[in-house]
Amino acid sequence: MTALRLLLISHTYSAPINHAKLEALARRVSLTVITPHMWRDALFTVVADRPLSSAYQWHRLPVHLNGRLMYHVYSLRALDRLIQQTRPDVVHVEEEPPSLALAELALLKPRRRYKLTCFTWENIPRSAGLPGVEAFNLRRCDGIIAGNREAEGVVRRKGFSGPMQVIPQLGVDAGLFRPAAQPAEGRADFCVGFIGRMAEEKGVRTLLAAARELRGVRLMLVGGGPLASEIRTWAARHEMAGRVEHIAPVSHEAVPHYLRQMDCLVLPSRSTPKWKEQFGHVLIEAMACGVPVIGSNSGAIPEVIAEAGLIFPEGDARALGAAIERLRDDPALRLRLGRAGRERVLAHYTHDRIAAATAEFLEQISAA
């Protein structure tokens, strides 16, 4: 059986840490990848390095309006030339339905005769991008992958009736993110961790308020953002400086080291009118390390955790404090949830699992 010829286009793979999924996907399909030659994020700029793997073809192209998710575009001529060379069965654009990058492939589709699919995380129904672009793209798409169930519902309500599958965009390396060889001993305090952006929507204030009322608990906060300096001031004002450790952002490879120092990880995200948690990748990283997790009920967090952790109402510091106390006082529960989290990641969230599900869905689209 001839392998599916897949052309995958996304700014996501400008970052080398995301290439592991591509390697897993290339074991199942004949893969060509197009990324921007660099991507200018709100916080930093990523220059696309050539991957070490030769299992797939990889092309870096300049983009106009770099860093603007809905508005960046490639050279239409360069895209057309690569499509002529690779003759894909499916072009999978991992950008949101209103994006102009997807519209470029929708424009080329009738002439080049490939199946077109895209990816969406957006779990709040709202208008984005230029007027009319999303409706045009949805008419041209043969299938869509959604990163969470609510995102699937959003696209359905916008009128898309074609095949859809819920598959996260990226998984986790279960070899890198693994439990400690031996459990840590002699900890004086129960270590509650947070890794991510220090921003209003990530609920750090809720976590601080919860920890303030707990004895025998210390916080390890890893990351940067607009609230970083406020956290240090808050800890000093409430005489918690000795119980709050703030660590600047660390490399992806260093994250497991910090996770394995935690007794639990908390993702206390708070929804806003324009955003709610779309996945919470740090959850599956912690779960892969056997660290029990506590998450708010914002967006997709309960969907990701399922029965492998604890959930509290977003913004409710008292409920979060009770969940932390429950884990602090019950070592057997911590052990059970840690094991359940690792098992859930191995079953659903490794790079290999996600690549397999993605390849299977796209093969179905190609054969339809």
Domain spanning 190-348, CATH architecture = 3-Layer(aba) Sandwich (3.40)
Asked if the model's pLDDT at residue 303 lies above 80, the reply is yes
Q: What SS3 class is residue 7?
A: strand
pLDDT band at 127 (very low <50, low <70, confident <90, very high): confident
Domain residue ranges of the chain, discontinuous segments joined by +: 5-171+350-367, 190-348
In this prediction, residue 184 carries a pLDDT of 60
Backbone angles phi, psi at 173, to 5 degrees: -85, 105
Instruction: Kindly report the pTM of this predicted structure.
Output: 0.94
Closest alpha carbon to 118 in 128, 129, 130, 104: 104
Question: Residue 49 — pLDDT band, cuts 50, 70, 90?
Answer: confident
142-196: pLDDT as tens digits? 999 999 999 999 999 999 999 999 999 999 999 999 998 876 665 678 999 999 9
Element (H, E) at 354: helix 351-367
Q: Do domains 5-171+350-367 and 190-348 have the same CATH topology?
A: yes
Which residues have CB under 8 Å from 337's CB, separation 6+? 292, 293, 308, 309, 310, 327
The pLDDT assigned to 47 comes to: 75
Local confidence band at 29 (pLDDT 50, 70, 90 cut-offs): very high
Q: What is the pLDDT of residue 138?
A: 98
Average of per-residue pLDDT values in the chain: 93
Question: Is residue 201 within 8 Å of residue 269, measured between CB atoms?
Answer: yes
Cα 240 to chain centroid, rounded: 32
183-240: pLDDT as tens digits? 666 567 899 999 999 999 999 999 999 998 898 999 999 999 888 888 888 888 877 7
CATH topology of domain 5-171+350-367: Rossmann fold (3.40.50)
Q: For 76-121, how does the pLDDT look when each residue is reduced to its tens digit (9 = 90+)?
A: 999 999 999 999 999 999 999 999 999 999 999 999 999 999 999 9
pLDDT for 44:
65
